[in-house]
């Protein structure tokens, strides 16, 4: 799978053929910043998507689900209001935003999607979308496009950095296809089937059904493997578009695997960028659980450790407080064998056979203080299943951001 060292934001990325992006300061919540992003495909794009499994789903998520299977030409993405818990009015607003975009860009009906993040429960200020989308359409007519980075910035909420990734893929018939992705999200991150918002676009020519399979294949190692605070959003959406502008199809099993791998790399890169930018985070923590009875148990233990406040505050304090990790594994519900468990901290084994091993604590604290990336591995000692998750530490700053981020 992807090399973790390659997961920093790709700051200079090139859009695949046949896509353009636009941004605008619509004043939805924030003043003096771009808060609306529009992505246009010159051709109808095959569309795949995965969404939050929260039983409460935001209006834009409902709209995006309805349109699965339709060819898509436009994404309209706002920050500042999540359009969630807004009832029937919210659903009408999401549909209306898509309609305005379809009208302004002269696109077929139901070819636009509306996506939102921000505060839950505030109505979408529809009156601000019409002039904004008209201005964007007129800029587009004049050839004034924005850069991929502009787009990545326009969709941010509490994010501190824009999140982008790309891979280019030469396949069997010597043609090149491009995959390029954007994500936003820093808090309320504990996706099951998706994360906050991610958009991945490619110029590959592929059917929606095959596109959906490729998207699902990449989920387990990317958006479903991260957590910042254990809170699953009402708005999580990962949207994947393929507009075929490269005039290139996947002709053999090898091509398909190469595409899926490149796509999975883009997805994992975006997911890790979300964790790195986790609210208040000072560390990226990789939790590897091995030796589990089955995958469910490995997931249970890894997720409980990744979400434990005591574990996360210890990481913030550069404290190798391994006892908290053993404790969490114990209550996670996963089966374990205390006498066979092993815990590795920065590649050093520090607990085995039910008891702590001697280690140089001061040296470990020094090493922890010097690194922004920590890996711990816990072997449960009962089987062969494993699971890797990515999480953050928990800092004062997280509390500050979320106590002050006003509803």
Known catalytic residues are 195
Q: Is 398 in the site for a copy of itself (CB under 8 A)?
A: yes
Q: Using CA atoms, how far apart are residues 93 and 183, in angstroms rounded to an integer?
A: 23
- Interface with a copy of itself by CB under 8 A: which range of 63-71, 145-153, 367-375, 390-398? 390-398
335 binds a copy of itself (CB under 8 A): yes
Contact between 174 and a copy of itself by CB under 8 A: the answer reads: no
Residue 329 in the binding site for a copy of itself (CB under 8 A): yes
Residue 290 interacts with a copy of itself (CB under 8 A): yes or no: no
The pair of structure tokens assigned to 304 is: 């409980």
Nearest distance from residue 168's CB to a copy of itself, in Å? 37
What is the nearest approach in angstroms of a copy of itself to the Cβ of residue 287? 15
Q: Work out whether 273 is an interface residue with a copy of itself (CB under 8 A).
A: no
Q: Which of 252, 310, 349, 369 binds a copy of itself (CB under 8 A)?
A: 310
Q: Of residues 46, 54, 157, 268, which one binds a copy of itself by CB under 8 A? A: 54
d(CA 354, CA 295): 23
Is 324 a binding residue for a copy of itself by CB under 8 A? The answer is: yes
Query: In the set 254, 338, 360, 363, which binds a copy of itself (CB under 8 A)?
Result: 338
Q: Is 321 in the site for a copy of itself (CB under 8 A)?
A: yes
Closer to a copy of itself by Cβ: residue 241 or 350: 350
- Name which of 214 and 232 has its Cβ closer to a copy of itself: 232
- Site for a copy of itself contains 55 (CB under 8 A): yes
Candidates 136-144, 149-157, 259-267, 327-335; binding stretch for a copy of itself (CB under 8 A):
327-335
- How far apart CA 84 and CA 315 sit, in angstroms, is 33
Check: CB of residue 56 under 8 Å from CB of residue 256: no
Paired strand residues for 289: 378, 387
Stretch of 99-107, 203-211, 265-273, 320-328 lying at the interface with a copy of itself (CB under 8 A): 320-328
Residues of span 195-234 touching a copy of itself by CB under 8 A: 229-234
Rg, Å, the chain Cα set: 22
Q: Answer yes or no whether residue 253 interacts with a copy of itself by CB under 8 A.
A: no
Please state the closest distance from residue 353 (CB atom) to a copy of itself, in A. Answer: 7
Q: Binding of a copy of itself at residue 288 (CB under 8 A)?
A: no
**Footprint of a copy of itself (CB under 8 A):** 52-57, 82, 84-90, 119-122, 187-188, 190, 192, 229-234, 307-310, 313-314, 316-317, 319-324, 326-331, 334-336, 338, 351, 353-356, 394-396, 398-400, 402-407
């Amino acid at each position: 799978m992807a090399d973790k060292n390659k997961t920093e934001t790709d700051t200079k990325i090139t859009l695949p053929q046949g896509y353009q992006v636009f941004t605008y300061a619509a004043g939805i919540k924030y003043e003096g910043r771009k808060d609306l992003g529009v992505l246009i495909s010159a051709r109808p794009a095959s569309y795949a998507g995965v969404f939050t499994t929260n039983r409460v789903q935001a209006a834009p998520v409902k709209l995006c689900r309805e349109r699965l299977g339709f060819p898509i030409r436009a994404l309209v993405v706002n920050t500042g209001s999540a359009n969630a818990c807004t009832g029937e009015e919210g659903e009408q607003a999401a549909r209306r935003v898509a309609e305005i975009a379809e009208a302004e860009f002269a696109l077929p009906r139901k070819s636009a999607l509306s996506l939102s993040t921000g505060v839950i429960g505030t109505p979408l200020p529809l009156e601000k979308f019409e002039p904004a989308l008209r201005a964007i359409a007129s800029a587009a007519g004049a050839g004034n496009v924005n850069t991929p980075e502009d787009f990545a910035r326009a969709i941010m909420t509490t994010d501190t950095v824009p999140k982008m990734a790309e891979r280019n893929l030469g396949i069997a018939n010597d043609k090149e296809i491009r995959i390029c992705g954007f994500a936003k999200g820093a808090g309320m991150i504990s996706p099951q089937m998706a994360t906050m918002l991610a958009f991945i676009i490619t110029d590959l020519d592929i059917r929606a059904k095959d596109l959906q399979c490729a998207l699902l294949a990449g989920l387990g190692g990317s958006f479903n493997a991260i957590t910042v605070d254990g809170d699953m959003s009402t708005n999580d959406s990962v949207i994947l578009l393929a507009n075929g502008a490269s005039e290139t199809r996947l002709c053999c099993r090898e091509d398909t695997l190469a595409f899926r791998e490149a796509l999975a790399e883009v997805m994992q890169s975006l997911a890790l960028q979300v964790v790195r930018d986790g609210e208040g985070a000072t560390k990226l923590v990789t939790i590897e659980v091995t030796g589990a009875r089955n995958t469910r148990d490995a997931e249970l233990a890894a997720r409980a450790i990744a979400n434990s406040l005591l574990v996360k505050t210890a990481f913030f304090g550069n404290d190798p407080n391994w006892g908290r990790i053993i404790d969490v594994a114990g209550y996670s519900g996963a089966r374990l064998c205390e006498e066979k468990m092993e815990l590795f901290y920065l590649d050093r084994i520090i607990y085995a056979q039910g008891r702590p091993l001697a280690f140089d604590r001061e040296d470990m604290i020094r090493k922890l203080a010097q690194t922004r990336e920590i890996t711990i591995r816990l072997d449960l000692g009962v089987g062969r299943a494993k699971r890797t998750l990515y999480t953050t530490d928990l800092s004062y700053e997280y509390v500050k951001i979320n106590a002050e981020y006003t509803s």
